[in-house]
């Protein structure tokens, strides 16, 4: 189902998350950031990463774009 969301990146670093989101959105990939507030409440704990989600039908392309620019898998 193409409306289903899939995680393509997770990080405790808000700046890294913004960079990943901006990269994908500038490529035309619609992104959704999950758990931003949880991460802030718990002080950027590795237990509560911020998650970047995209539609399932573009997830592989999004992961490839992030990997090509050096974002960890």
DSSP 24-45: HHHTT--EEEESHHHHHHTTS-
Task: Please answer whether residues 40 and 5 qualify as being in contact, where contact means their C-beta atoms are separated by less than 8 angstroms.
Answer: no
pLDDT band at 14 (very low <50, low <70, confident <90, very high): confident
Using the predicted structure, report yes or no on whether residue 2 has a pLDDT greater than 80. Answer: no
Residue 1: pLDDT band with limits 50, 70, 90:
low
Q: Supply the pTM of this predicted model.
A: 0.82
- The model's pLDDT over 22-51, given as tens digits with 9 standing for 90+, comes to 999 999 999 999 987 665 555 555 567 889
| 72 Rama sector, left if φ>0, alpha if ψ -120 to 50, beta otherwise | beta
pLDDT greater at residue 56 or residue 3: 56
5-11 and 31-34 as β-strands: parallel, antiparallel, unpaired? unpaired
């Amino acid at each position: 189902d193409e409306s289903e969301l899939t995680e393509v990146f997770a990080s405790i670093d808000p700046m890294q998350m913004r960079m990943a989101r901006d990269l994908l959105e500038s490529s035309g990939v619609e992104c959704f950031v999950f758990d931003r507030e949880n991460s802030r409440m718990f002080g950027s704990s590795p237990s509560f990463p911020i998650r970047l989600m995209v539609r399932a039908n573009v997830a592989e392309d999004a992961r490839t774009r992030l990997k090509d620019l050096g974002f960890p898998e």
